[in-house]
Copies of this chain bind each other. A is one copy, B any other.
């Protein structure tokens, strides 16, 4: 027995849920009246706040591979990409639910790693694991729902753009896509956990000049197109102003990759793309960087003519 790998099949569903509940602990000092272990979790909201909900999934062999990433990283990333959606709304995390599907033969240490990573990421951003579900499946799926809160009427949305608005982006783009390409070529390990821009999103929600916001998951071109759709406007982007990480172009050259494609269509940046009122002349990238506590670059402006101007055409869609 001693050398045999223990798997989920060695434990019943109840024991596995108990294992998650022990790891998660009780969401103390929060608005949760009840956490894991009942039919549902109970939240006590306040009347002056709105609650926002988002859901996103990581699927084995589509979004991750266990031979390329430690389970703990996968667990962290599963929560981080969801928190990024809360950041895009300017919301503060309240809690998360994890619906985990896994094969019976999944090693228990992989299960433990997934859960530990998820819980650790939640502790970092004040987002306790309050409930979930376990299902049997051929491949691992981590389906996450996050709940956030913000002051009533102050959530950032994708809509509200007008011609003349100025476009900004946090951090830099293309680095995640380059890292993935590099790991793919070498069949080497990946350890990508994006940093959800939660504090920056909340700061944006407090600024009166903020018009609209989205997080960059599919790539600048695709997500900017989503942002424009709602209002039927277009954007002129200054490609030279789109920030890339240090050494990005050399890194692309070394792999024979087109840096522009990675920059505008690589995806998985999880930075915030947002627009400010055009009349807000006192706002500069430097003042925004200070307010948002993250580097901010101005990359273009909203125009009335629909479409993306100044960006090369890219193929849509990473999922289907």
Q: Which residues of A contact B (CB under 8 A)?
A: 8-9, 11-14, 16, 33-34, 37-47, 49-57, 59, 61-63, 85-86, 88-89, 91, 95, 97-99, 101, 104, 130-139, 141, 143, 145, 147-148, 152, 155, 157-159, 214-215, 226, 230, 316-320
Q: How far is the CB of A202 from chain B (nearest CB, A)?
A: 14
Residues from chain B with Cβ under 8 Å of A46 in the complex: 47
**Do the beta carbons of A51 and B53 come within 8 Å of each other?**
no
Residues from chain B with Cβ under 8 Å of A38 in the complex: 89, 157-159
Could you jot down 18 A-B contacts, CB within 8 Å? A13-B317, A13-B318, A13-B319, A14-B226, A14-B317, A33-B155, A40-B53, A40-B54, A43-B52, A43-B53, A45-B45, A56-B99, A59-B135, A134-B320, A135-B141, A135-B319, A136-B319, A138-B139
**Copies in the assembly, this chain:** 2
**Do the beta carbons of B157 and A8 come within 8 Å of each other?**
no
Extra contacts, 14 of them, besides A34-B155, A55-B98, A62-B135 (Cβ < 8 A), are A12-B316, A12-B317, A13-B318, A16-B320, A38-B158, A39-B54, A40-B89, A43-B51, A44-B50, A57-B101, A97-B145, A134-B319, A141-B143, A145-B145
Q: How far is the CB of A18 from chain B (nearest CB, A)?
A: 9
